[in-house]
Amino acid sequence: MPSSLRSNHFILQAFDCDLWCPIAQTLFHVADIEALRAILAGDVDHDPELHHLYYPDDDQLAKLVAHLGVKFDRSEFKSTDLTVELFRWEPLNEAPYLIHTRYELPLLLDGRKKLARMTHAYPPMTFDGEHRFDQWVDKGMLHREVVIEPFDVPAKGYLGTRTVFYTPKGEEWRIPAHKLIWRASAKGWNETFERLEGMLFGYEDWQCDWWIDHLSQRGRRWRQNAPVESETPAG
């Protein structure tokens, strides 16, 4: 669907903190954006267009259901550690395949994802949900490798970047292969590197084709330096 027809669509999502992935979503349209702003109240003071990620509480959820007709009942979910998230719909939400971001753990355990890379500034010396991944390392299901890269000079209280790689057992070779790609791309990132990285993550050829075409349609100019985010949307 053209993005113009989704301009005021939002997604309410249930994130299972035990499984460490989303388990349910509902898409809804907001005819009056001010009505949604009123429900979220003070949380939206610095976000007039509601582009941020929100965590509605039970009272706000009840108002979303009552006033905006959102179909969502958290009692339907068995998880005892559930986070409810609200965010604006984006064109990437209708990609023709499952983008791995935030589904890394179950996809790794299922063997559909071959490599996950989580990068964050430190301190702290852990990323959100790391203990959920590490319990499967302890059980022998996943392989883990950590890379610490200190900054020359601390920045905004951070001392450096910390990258944690995970692979299913038997796929450990993908970590040095990924490091080699990053070294080779030190002078510039291009379509070939993007495709190779996607293949290492475990995406199929047609999915890499779609992703690169998607970037081209958005007028993507290839980065002059290697990427620094945890995983790109194709990751």
| Domains in the chain: boundaries | 3-94, 104-217
Backbone phi, then psi, for 148, in 5-degree steps? -110, 130
Q: What is the mean pLDDT of each run of 10 residues along the chain (235 residues)?
A: 65 96 95 92 84 94 92 86 95 93 98 98 97 98 98 96 98 98 92 96 97 84 48 43
Closest by alpha carbon to 91, among 186, 11, 201, 183?
A: 11
CATH class given for the domain over 3-94: alpha beta
pLDDT for res 74: 83
pLDDT for res 233: 38
pTM of the model: 0.88
Question: Quick check: 63 and 84 in contact, CB under 8 A?
Answer: no
Q: Counting Cβ atoms within 10 Å, is residue 130 exposed (0-12), middle (13-18) or buried (19+)?
A: middle
pLDDT for res 6: 62
